[in-house]
Amino acid sequence: MSQFRWILILTLILLPLVVQADRIEGRFNGLGCASKGKLCPIDKDDPHVLLERDFVVQTADGNYFYVTNIDWKTKLKYVLKLVRVEGRFSDRLSAIVADELWVKKVDGYHLEWSLEMVREKHRKARLEQ
């Protein structure tokens, strides 16, 4: 019985390490447009896009999800692109805290942003000071 207890304890300790990240796929869309059920702007250079408070990932079924820790400028860069966001999802808030942002290109998804990339950028900035 003692051996079983140790296996149970070890399993409970290691369980968070094997839990996979949540994933949302869709297009970055302006919050104002998404809340009206529309996909806009028509063109990413449309001046309307600069008036958007935030950008959300709008899925094929019309639902949309906030990405809470990616800055507005990064989201703007990929507006209307097909994206995959991996991280920790909150059903209650319809939001995801991103670990990685993947953008679809001709040959598949490419990692364009990650927490690790941001941390590395901050480390380099501190070293340069």
129/114: higher pLDDT: 114
What residues have CB less than 8 Å from 112, skipping those under 6 apart?
A: 78, 101, 102, 103
3-state helix, strand, coil in the chain (%, to 5): 35, 35, 30
CB 45 within 8 A of CB 94: no
pLDDT in tens, 54-105: 999 999 999 999 999 999 999 999 999 999 999 999 988 899 999 999 999 9
Q: What is the pLDDT of residue 30?
A: 92
pLDDT at residue 7 is higher than 70:
no
Token pair listed for 100: 């990685």
**The whole model's pTM is what?**
0.78
